[in-house]
Amino acid sequence: MSREAAARSVVSFVPATIANVGPGFDVLGLALDGAGDQVCARISDSRSGGQVTIASIEGCGGRLPLEAEENTAGIAAIHTLRRAGLDTRVELEITKGLPIGSGLGGSAASAVAAAFAVNLLVGSPLRKEELIEPCIEAEAAVAGRHADNVAPALLGGLILVRSTDPLDLVRVPLPGGLRVVVVTPAHELNTRDAREALPGSVPLATMVRQSAQLAALVSACYSGDLELLSESLVDPVVTPVRLELVPGGREAVDAAQGAGALGASLSGSGPSVFAICHSSAVAQKVAGCMQAAFLNAGLESKVLISSADNPGARRVR
């Protein structure tokens, strides 16, 4: 080991994220308070296996790989140590709080939690922002190269990913007092499949409309203009295609709007649907109506009523 370890073990927590946030496909993501993944990283004395080993994964019913090279937490840990130039051997224990294939950024949360914990474990050789690249490598291996989950998961709040290479992130303020409802139906949708369903190109007129929506959304976030925010959450490109893949998805979006939400759309690649509301009372009503829409399509669902998670990745022990 080329550097003194800062601790024998570190436990980190990383929040769920809503990627895309309407028209911001692959460029906008919001961290959510109240749900997330946890990773314990400890120095390993074992000489067998690779540099990073995964001792256990709780909360996924045995469905995620224990091989570090095939698991987003393992891949992120390997790339973090590589980037730091360290040969330290590390063991991970992963506790999944986020369901697999739900659109809540579960693969990103595990990757960020591992990168964050491992970096602290070895004495913080990397700045927080430098952990993004190892996490993007992890996402690329399982779901596609995008940072709109890993960036807000790590940094908290609402983040605009202007570029991943070179990395260029912009923190966008979210108007105060908003509540975010996320309804997750009992229907898994793999991000890779949901990306493959998308068109390879869009007509210029659609591109113009989509750019205007994203610009309006960011502007509304800065100005606090909730009417503009409401209108600009509509995505003309990606969401209409993907809602076809989610039974009851379109109806849940419509139900949210009918019940008073400012706007609603798919969370990441789905199947979760989120709605932004201006009060807790409206959020409760919206959640019920969205659940009823999914039930009509034959799907039970779970609800998270939340707000922005501003700290992002943090140490819990």
Per CB under 6 A, residues contacting ligand HSE are 19-20, 25-26, 105, 146, 148-149, 191, 194-195, 268-269
- Which of residues 30 and 174 has its CB atom nearest to ligand HSE in the complex? 30
Q: Taking the alpha carbons of 215, 221, 222, 228 in that order, is the dihedral positive or negative?
A: positive
- Which of residues 93 and 235 has its CB atom nearest to ligand HSE in the complex? 235
Q: What is the smallest separation between the CB atom of 232 and ligand HSE, expressed in angstroms?
A: 18
Q: What is the smallest separation between the CB atom of 194 and ligand HSE, expressed in angstroms?
A: 6
Q: Quick check: 32 and 18 in contact, CB under 8 A?
A: yes
Q: What is the smallest separation between the CB atom of 143 and ligand HSE, expressed in angstroms?
A: 6
Q: What is the smallest separation between the CB atom of 273 and ligand HSE, expressed in angstroms?
A: 13
- Which of residues 111 and 290 has its CB atom nearest to ligand HSE in the complex? 111
- Which of residues 87 and 193 has its CB atom nearest to ligand HSE in the complex? 193
- Which of residues 23 and 157 has its CB atom nearest to ligand HSE in the complex? 23
Q: Which among 162, 152, 181 is positioned nearest to 309, based on CA atoms?
A: 152
Q: What is the smallest separation between the CB atom of 19 and ligand HSE, expressed in angstroms?
A: 4
Spatial separation of the C-alpha atoms in residues 214 and 43, rounded to whole Å: 44
State which residue has the least CB distance to ligand HSE: 268
Question: SS3 string of 92-107?
Answer: EEEECCCCCCCCCCHH
Amino acid at site 282 = V
Spatial separation of the C-alpha atoms in residues 260 and 279, rounded to whole Å: 10
Spatial separation of the C-alpha atoms in residues 2 and 7, rounded to whole Å: 15
